[in-house]
Structure 1
């Protein structure tokens, strides 16, 4: 019996650990179809909305694949341990299907798997707008189509709308398949406010249903309005790309020579100081290699600062890269608001950018962190972005 309980806990930890409150380093090096990369290369002035949407759909499938792989590995361990568990309860089929139609008389049901973006307990600034996403599995017998919605159920009414489409295109999710469901939320005014909001699914015939076997567990978002919005909390929902194309944010695998972007809880910087969460970004191992990580859109009020401490790793003598921050208003060309050259000089560069100085406030903005190798790229070219955040706290000079 103890052995059985252990393996149930083992499975639970694996699934919930994929996108929990602490971002997980996931070694993936998948690229998007060549047509999309070509489209991006053909128009580098700004990241178009259709490319953002396509990339997010690809990332959704990659997240599903990762969870599926972890569960399959766990099942293999169970078999080796000769533990008899109902396999149908553990198997996830993450692929999204393209076509439609659900059967009459079926049952709508889903199971929550994990948070994808803005995990419960995250903090954001007053007046910000952000996207909350959940990874869920269709555990009923109905096929979900493009007419299904995520709808406000109860709690704090902080959605920018009462309902959001489950799919942005003609995808479907058959029974057993898994998808990402998203809503756009708005943080109210004032500091030190806590919000809890609950959301349900609505079928194409208007039925509202929640998660769990008894259909009584809605999707939730719990967040605190305080002094900052942390980019590292939302890395899994960012868009990562290098000279070759898109890759999954969270990858730390450099064996293929691709760019990487991943989370570390307390990396050491050149000043030998450690203890703060960070995003690590490195260019691909080619001449002039670039890696970009784009977040948002996040709408911020006047007076918001973007702050971070930038550094090479301390034991990386060949580190030498240009580091840039782009900010983009939807539909316009992104602008460089700050840049620096990072090499191993024993110092840390402080980014303290007041966005309203550039006219950026009360707009839907995307934020891109870019690292470009100077000369030939080297494995030492890993740039540490300590506590990258949007905050209303000005730096102490």
Structure 2
């Protein structure tokens, strides 16, 4: 700091004073002078005070030099830092190699063949239907045109092979059938004379004589399959043998004979070994009937007229088939006389209680008359489980032979 306030003149004075003090310290005196009595330290003190006074005066007249202040650098505070989230180490996951992207190739549509049929349903005569020898019936199939060509009325139903059962070989289609439409095709057949199972295969035929059928390639046949039952009865008139000669009806109209057991309109079939509600399997056949599937529905058959002889009796058992516990029906035997009047011979209520009803009705009052017998079954309320039977219904008497024993 002292170095900063000394001017050149002050520096020269300072050196002079300093030289004087050195000389005095070394005992230098002027020759011939009488040494004065010295007070120890007085001279030095005086000189020093004089020098200080002069330096003070000079310092007072001197222009002060700014003081250099050395400032130690300090770090400037930075912006406030947001603390980073705590890092939690996660176990390394396996590396998956991505599968190549699958680009589906559009399938080339397979062109439809011109002529191709699809079986839809058996309208009549389901597989395994039973008939007696010589019974005439009509088999009807429902087919759908799933080809690309229409079927005109020049197309035919065509017998291929198997049991022909007196059917016509070629039968023209009843209408034009465009692709996507359905048609019912029918043929009249006759049950063979011998007992057994019979099957006939059928297809369609184009006007040019090409045959086609069902299946993926259109080469498979649709068929009719029946069972012929020979019933060994001595009675000249049996209602089983004549069943499909009768007219079967319900509240829904006329019914086929035999029908399908799933037909909500009601149905009739012939059972060769019926299981009665008492659990016994019978060796005699029965008419299996079901009223129309509606509350208080009914089913009935009106037979062709027959002459009654003296001593004739109507004989049968009636009941519910096994495993139909909700069966509850009313059986009625009536006839239509020569004047067209319907008269009731008897009525029997039957429920599923393990017992059936034996009927032996004397017809002597009708001797000499021709009548049409009517067999009817009514639902007694809900008809959903009314699977009923007439077991071996027949006429017997002296003119017709002995009564066939029933179990």
TM-score by length of 2: 0.45
TM-score by length of 1: 0.46
Higher helix share: 1
Between structure 1 and structure 2, the one with the greater Rg is 2
Higher relative contact order (CA 8 A, sep 6+): 1
